[in-house]
């Protein structure tokens, strides 16, 4: 707007540039606490034009952000880390308001974020340093070879509702550390925590290279349609659509999608540890974790003991709504749709002959579903074949490890798995036979807190990976190859026009001698042919 242009006039012009909104398209989204149904906030449903304008703005500031280098960016990222720590209680309040998580779970997100920021902020300079690979042959040693890492200008991050603060931090921070600008589209179910993260970025006075846009599918599609790289976490169905859109635009993408993670309990396992670990792995965040334990295979000799201890552990869980007090273990599901999925899986399993040992139904107001253990289940049931994303643990008896491995691999998903055994070498041997992007031995979620390892899925669980040390920031970069002479150069290289056979013969002979083996280093007929052409 110019100084001489009136506000009504400017608004009229802006309105004329935008297509008319659909009559049934909401302009405001209500955010509700799923445990109580209470409205806790509202956010705008931003249009495709608004998203495009946001991305254009980010492009203006990104070159300067890249230019300050990883050490310059480190200072801003560590200021954001300070802000997260200083505002932990408030962030947990906001997170609880839109998720109805227990207080303990809500406190994890900001602490996790601070930990991850420290890892990438302090290591980005090393991770992004130029590589100088060794030449492949003596002939190539006349050049200095360099691989430089240049960020994509604008990275689009689309996150789900299960960890409204941690999920954005997982991908926004490495992208910022790489030198990219970032547009984040959080789930419309839980956008408030992401907006707090953006507020923190502004409050520390950081450059305007991180923005949040809010809305539903139209907003997300606009992010995919305007950014230069897409990182998406969510359902496999939506991931397919995003992949197709990215291929159409010829831009790279990384997808972390669904999971149906198996746990294998062997007869030599510490049954107490396995029962505690799998109860936690299946019920943490009410089972709404991409790497939740969703299937359990137990060797026959310890099956009864394990089931009894697992059931006791799950039955003892405290479920309810927390304020700032720490008194519950499991909270509500994110929305009614998730309750419907969990309830359907349990009801279909029971109808097909499964038994509920504890839980199995909705409870109280809101979207609470009891922590549930199911037995007498098999792979024909939806509770085993489909992603549940809720507080259920179906348990199956197996004859031996071979059957456990076969059943664990009988899935379209391959995100992570766990193996419980008293023999760690045996556990690793089994891990290497499982079709999963990560396997934890005698633990759950351990890989989630190991940023030096890649976190990615196989099969319908996704494409690409986050983290993995240097790869966690390099994934947001374009690789640029640079060659530079290190010896005095000729006016004309041997291969340049016009061809001269004697020089060409020398160059080709040298290439063959450097790369081939035995007598094939010298091709006599070809050499004679070239000599004959010289006459």
Catalytic residue among 188, 211, 246, 290: 290
Query: How many other C-beta atoms lie within 10 A of the C-beta of residue 143?
Result: 14
Instruction: Say whether 383 is catalytic.
Output: no
Cα–Cα distances in angstroms (integers) from residue 385 to residues 267, 295, 380, 381, 415, in the given order = 25, 9, 7, 6, 14
In terms of DSSP H, where are the helices of 334-464?
Answer: 336-351, 382-385, 401-408, 424-431
- Helix, strand or coil, per DSSP, at residue 107: helix
Calpha distance 456→71 (Å, rounded): 28
Strands 477-485 and 143-151: antiparallel
Q: Which helix (H) or strand (E) holds 29?
A: strand 28-32
Taking alpha carbons only, the member of 334, 357, 330, 335 closest to residue 346 is 357
Q: Is the dihedral of CA 156, 160, 165, 166 positive or negative?
A: negative
Structure tokens at 117: 């920021």
Calpha distance 294→287 (Å, rounded): 8
Calpha distance 371→204 (Å, rounded): 41
Calpha distance 253→341 (Å, rounded): 29
Q: Are 445 and 291 in contact (CB under 8 A)?
A: yes
Instruction: Say whether 290 is catalytic.
Output: yes
Q: Dump the DSSP string for 140-205.
A: GGGEEEEEEEEE-SEEEEE--SSSTTHHHHHHHHHHHHHT-EEEEE--TTS-HHHHHHHHHHHHTT
User: Can you give the three-state secondary structure of 307-356, one letter per residue?
Assistant: HHHHHHHHHCCCECCCCCCCCCCECCCCCHHHHHHHHHHHHHHHHCCCEE
| DSSP tag of 362 | B
Calpha distance 377→142 (Å, rounded): 66
Taking alpha carbons only, the member of 190, 189, 186, 188 closest to residue 168 is 186
What residues contact 422, with CB distance under 8 A and at least 6 apart? 266, 268, 269, 270
Structure tokens at 229: 């790289």
Phi, psi for 259 (deg, rounded to 5): -150, 155
Catalytic residue among 196, 256, 299, 370: 256
Active-site residue set: 256, 290
């Amino acid at each position: 707007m110019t100084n001489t242009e009136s506000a009504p006039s400017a608004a009229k012009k802006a309105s004329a540039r935008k297509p008319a909104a659909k009559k049934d398209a909401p302009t405001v989204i209500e955010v509700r606490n799923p445990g109580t149904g209470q409205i806790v906030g509202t956010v705008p449903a931003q249009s495709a034009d608004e998203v495009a304008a946001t991305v254009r703005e980010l492009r203006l500031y990104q070159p300067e952000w890249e230019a300050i280098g990883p050490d310059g960016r480190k200072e801003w990222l560590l200021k954001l880390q300070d802000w997260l720590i200083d505002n932990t209680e408030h962030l947990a309040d906001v997170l609880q308001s839109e998720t109805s998580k227990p207080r303990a779970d809500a406190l994890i997100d900001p602490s996790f974020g601070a930990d991850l920021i420290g890892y990438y902020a302090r290591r980005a300079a090393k991770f992004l340093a130029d590589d100088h690979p060794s030449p492949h042959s003596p002939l190539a040693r006349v050049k200095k070879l360099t691989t430089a890492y240049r960020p994509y200008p604008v990275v689009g991050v689309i996150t789900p509702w299960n960890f409204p603060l941690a999920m954005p931090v997982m991908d926004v921070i490495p992208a910022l550390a790489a030198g990219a600008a970032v547009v984040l589209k959080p789930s419309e179910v839980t956008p408030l925590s992401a907006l707090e993260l953006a507020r923190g970025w502004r409050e520390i006075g950081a450059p305007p290279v991180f923005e949040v846009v809010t809305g539903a599918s139209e907003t997300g599609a606009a992010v995919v349609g305007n950014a230069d790289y897409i990182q998406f976490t969510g359902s496999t169905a939506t991931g397919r659509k995003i992949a197709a859109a990215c291929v159409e635009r010829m831009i790279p993408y990384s997808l972390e999608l669904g999971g149906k993670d198996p746990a294998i309990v062997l007869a030599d396992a510490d049954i107490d540890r396995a029962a505690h670990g799998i109860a936690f792995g299946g019920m943490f965040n009410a089972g709404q974790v991409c790497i939740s334990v969703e299937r359990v295979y137990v060797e026959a000799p310890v099956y009864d003991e394990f089931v009894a201890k697992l059931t006791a552990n799950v039955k003892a869980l405290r479920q309810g709504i927390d304020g700032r007090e720490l008194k519950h273990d499991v909270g509500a599901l994110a929305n009614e749709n998730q309750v419907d999925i969990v309830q359907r899986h349990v009801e279909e399993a029971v109808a097909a002959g499964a038994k509920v040992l504890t839980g199995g139904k909705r409870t109280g107001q809101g979207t609470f579903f009891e922590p549930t253990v199911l037995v007498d289940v098999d792979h024909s049931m939806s509770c085993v074949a489909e992603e549940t994303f809720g507080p259920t643990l179906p348990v199956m008896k197996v004859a031996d490890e071979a059957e456990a491995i076969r059943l664990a691999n009988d899935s379209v998903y391959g995100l992570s798995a766990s193996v419980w055994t008293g023999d760690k070498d045996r556990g690793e041997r089994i891990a290497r036979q499982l079709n999963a992007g990560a396997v934890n031995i005698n633990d759950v979620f351990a890989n989630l807190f190991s940023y030096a390892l890649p976190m990615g899925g196989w099969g319908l669980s996704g494409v690409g990976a986050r983290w993995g040390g240097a790869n966690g920031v390099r994934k947001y970069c374009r690789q640029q190859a640079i060659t530079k002479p290190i010896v005095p150069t000729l006016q004309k290289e041997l291969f340049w026009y016009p061809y001269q056979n004697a020089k060409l013969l020398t160059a080709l002979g040298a290439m063959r001698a450097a790369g081939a083996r035995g007598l094939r280093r010298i091709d006599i007929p070809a050499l004679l042919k070239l000599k004959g052409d010289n006459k």
